[in-house]
Amino acid sequence: MSERKRMSPERFEAELARHRQLSFAGVDPRGRPLVRVFDVVHHQGRIYMHGAPRGEKLALLGRPLVAHAHRVVAEIPSHFTDPRRACPATTFYASVQVEGQFSTVDALERKAEVLSQLVGGRQATGSFVAMDPAHPEFARLYAKVIDALWVGEFEISARHGRFNFGQHKSAAVAEAILEGLWTRGAAGDIEAIGEILEAHPQRLAPSWSRGPEGTRLCVNLDRRRTEASARLLEGAYWRPNYDLEMLAGVQVAASAWVGLETPEGELVGTARAVSDGVDYAYIGDVMVAEPWRGRGLGKALTRGLLDHPRLRSVRHQFLVTRDAMELYAPLGFDTLGRLGTRTWMRRRPASVESPR
Ligand SMILES: CC(C)(COP(=O)(O)OP(=O)(O)OC[C@H]1O[C@@H](n2cnc3c(N)ncnc32)[C@H](O)[C@@H]1OP(=O)(O)O)[C@@H](O)C(=O)NCCC(=O)NCCS
């Protein structure tokens, strides 16, 4: 295996944990190859699954198995990096493989513990009685069902992870790919941009990401940025009485989000929009950290948002502001009118044709 594509142990564990289904393959005692897909849960360094206590999968018990999961991050066409040749086309991916063996979990308490991890993690909403043997209703609600289920434990004996996010490509080629992804803006491309930037050994700076004062436009909203964005917006005049959780939720629900980060990785600007992707977009939560204001960040941030693939061809782009009209007017926003203390503004991108 190419060393440059091998995953570090940390990357491997994070990648494996993303997968809630794994394909297990082995050979049954009669020599026939068999593949089964299971819903899995990763718990205490092992993998658990469940099913009916019958069927072909049981023929795999105690036999050497391999489990595999593959994730396509982005398909990269050749024209991103070469105007003529078709051959640089590639797929960025992350692939994990584990080897090991199944055994059956027999003890009711252990089965309940594993199943509650397996089922609980897939049901974030709604309420149900915990699968806890100490719960007074456990015996009535669960004991029989759990007893009748097969719960498998997969002990891992070997781990292999392989990924291609362009980490071994030159900075110039990787930046050309980032330009291509931003221009294309297909489903998953924004997330791919984040993964490529994070994986590359050099600090990449595609043209669209270069902001004032050494800042960079970031476009994928990971957990750290969600929290930082919520903190920036705390106390904004248009968001009275919003706590950090609500502010974070609003960012995550956006159709498009952009931020500006300092070279040290501090988020100093945030902006977002909700949109139907064709006719209407509403831009909001534009905020630059106070010490960074007046240096062009607000303009760069808004420009970056307007150029976002999910926004750039939306016909009517609206916003409401109390006093920042001079920020938005040079970016193409016209004043529609005032409502109380707020001014409504609208932009219609020149490049987008009106519907007939
Ligand atoms: C509004 C805000 C995002 C602007 O960010 P910024 O980094 O200071 O803006 P920039 O330095 O890019 O300024 C760009 C232009 O907009 C103008 N501008 C920015 N904020 C303005 C405001 N509140 N009122 C009037 N003009 C403003 C600037 O004068 C500048 O004009 P210039 O290019 O002619 O010099 C920032 O001040 C902020 O976060 N304010 C608090 C939150 C807020 O009001 N958000 C907007 C809600 S609609």
For residue range 203-242, what is the model confidence (pLDDT) as tens digits?
999 999 999 999 999 999 999 999 999 999 999 999 999 9
CA of 16 to the centre of ligand 1 (A): 44
**Atom of ligand 1 at shortest range from CA of 236:** 42
Tell me phi and psi for residue 223, to 5 degrees: -60, -40
Residue linked to tokens 């990785």? 265
What is the mean predicted confidence (pLDDT) over 125-154? 91
- Cα gap 289→307, rounded to integer Å: 22
**Atom of ligand 1 at shortest range from CA of 288:** 39
Q: What pLDDT, on the 0 to 100 scale, is given for residue 119?
A: 84
Residues 6+ apart with CB under 8 A from 16: 42, 69, 96, 98, 159, 161
**Atom of ligand 1 at shortest range from CA of 238:** 47
Instruction: Kindly tell me if the per-residue pLDDT of 262 is higher than 70.
Output: yes
- Cα gap 102→48, rounded to integer Å: 9
CA of 324 to the centre of ligand 1 (A): 6
Q: What pLDDT, on the 0 to 100 scale, is given for residue 7?
A: 97
Residues 6+ apart with CB under 8 A from 262: 213, 214, 215, 268
Share of the chain above pLDDT 90, in %: 89
- Cα gap 66→7, rounded to integer Å: 18
Beta-strand (E) ranges in 106-182?
Answer: 150-164
Q: Atom 41, ligand 1: which residue's CA is nearest?
A: 287
CA of 232 to the centre of ligand 1 (A): 15
Instruction: Kindly tell me if the per-residue pLDDT of 333 is higher than 80.
Output: yes
- Cα gap 49→105, rounded to integer Å: 10
Within 10 Å of residue 299's Cβ, how many Cβ atoms? 16
Q: What pLDDT, on the 0 to 100 scale, is given for residue 13?
A: 95
E strand or H helix at 18: helix 9-18
pLDDT digits (tens, 9 = 90+) for 239-259: 999 999 999 999 999 999 999
CA of 335 to the centre of ligand 1 (A): 16
- Cα gap 190→177, rounded to integer Å: 12
CA of 304 to the centre of ligand 1 (A): 15
What is the mean predicted confidence (pLDDT) over 129-133? 89
- Cα gap 183→80, rounded to integer Å: 10
Residues with CB under 6 A from ligand 1: 236, 286-288, 293-299, 321, 323-324, 326-327
Residues 6+ apart with CB under 8 A from 335: 325, 329, 343, 344, 345
* Beta bridge mates, 76: 90
pTM of the model: 0.92
Tokens for 332?
């193409």
**Atom of ligand 1 at shortest range from CA of 292:** 7
Domains of the chain: 3-164 (2.30.110.10), 210-347 (3.40.630.30)
CA of 350 to the centre of ligand 1 (A): 23
Our mutation pick for probing the ligand 1 site, out of 270, 326, 333, counting the most ligand atoms within 8 A of Cβ, is 326
Q: Atom 17, ligand 1: which residue's CA is nearest?
A: 327
What is the mean predicted confidence (pLDDT) over 131-152? 94
CA of 353 to the centre of ligand 1 (A): 30
Are 61 and 51 in contact, with CB atoms under 8 Å apart? no
Confidence of residue 351 (pLDDT cuts 50, 70, 90): confident
* Beta bridge mates, 335: 345
Within 10 Å of residue 274's Cβ, how many Cβ atoms? 15
pLDDT digits (tens, 9 = 90+) for 160-202: 999 999 999 999 999 999 999 999 999 999 999 999 999 999 9
Q: Atom 28, ligand 1: which residue's CA is nearest?
A: 327
Residues in the chain: 356
What is the mean predicted confidence (pLDDT) over 119-138? 83
Instruction: Kindly tell me if the per-residue pLDDT of 356 is higher than 70.
Output: no
Are 200 and 206 in contact, with CB atoms under 8 Å apart? no
Of 298, 326, 324, give the one whose Cα is nearest residue 217: 298
- Cα gap 102→63, rounded to integer Å: 7
Q: Atom 16, ligand 1: which residue's CA is nearest?
A: 327
